[in-house]
Amino acid sequence: MTTDAKRTVRVSKTLSRVLRHDPASIGVTLDEAGWVAVDTLLAALGRHGTRVDRAELDHVVETNNKRRFAYSEDGSRIRASQGHSVAVDLGLSATEPPPVLYHGTTGRNLEAIHRDGLRPMSRQDVHLSADTETAVRVGSRHGRPVVLVVDAAAMAAAGHEFRVSANGVWLTDAVPAEYLHPLA
């Protein structure tokens, strides 16, 4: 990995921490929908040791393989697309899910998942993917991946709500264990 690529990853991780979990760490406040002015963010990052200009920020947003960040329509504000542990309302409408969705995890979590289902833990929502490849990638971050199939059609029929973020991650409040099955 080149130095530039390492820098891009480091800036992306900093943005994730600030825009999803701890905006106060650099003295910024997210609005109720998770937005912060780009100029405010860049100035605060600089004051806290991470000098980033707009061109580099644009590069990080454009090249992030998970499309974690989004600009407002006029480009003056930025936010994380999902994954917040701080309270925000992304304003996402309920959306009919595909018949099945997937969740990547590791074997050490299976006992609790079979008992309690999927819960958001420290985040606001449970994150699901529309394809197994993404679920494998997510599960791989913490060990050997296990992919669970979510019967999204049955959940929706039972009244559970789904939303889809700007980067294609499916969100729901929780997934009860009866809607989960191992990937065949």
Q: Is residue 92 part of a domain?
A: no
pLDDT in tens, 53-73: 999 999 999 998 788 999 999
**Per-residue pLDDT at 101 exceeds 90:** yes
Spacing of C-alpha 55 from chain mean position: 23
**Per-residue pLDDT at 3 exceeds 70:** no
Same domain flag for 104 and 178: yes
In DSSP notation, 134-156 reads: HHHHHHHTTSSEEEEEEEHHHHH
Same domain flag for 70 and 107: no
Q: Is residue 19 part of a domain?
A: yes
Contacts of 83 (CB under 8 A, 6+ apart): 16, 20, 68, 123, 127, 169
- Stretch 148-169: mean pLDDT: 95
Q: Is residue 95 part of a domain?
A: no
Q: At 148, which CATH number?
A: 3.20.170.30
Same domain flag for 137 and 75: no
pLDDT in tens, 109-137: 999 999 999 999 888 899 999 999 999 99
Q: Is residue 62 part of a domain?
A: yes
- Stretch 35-46: mean pLDDT: 98
Report the share of the chain in percent with pLDDT over 90.
83
Helix axes 54-63, 3-16, angle to 10 degrees: 90
Domain range for 118: 100-182
How many domains does one find in the chain? 2
What average pLDDT does the chain have? 94
pLDDT in tens, 168-178: 999 999 999 99
Q: At 51, which CATH number?
A: 1.10.10.970
Same domain flag for 175 and 106: yes
Q: Is-contact 18 28, C-beta < 8 A?
A: yes
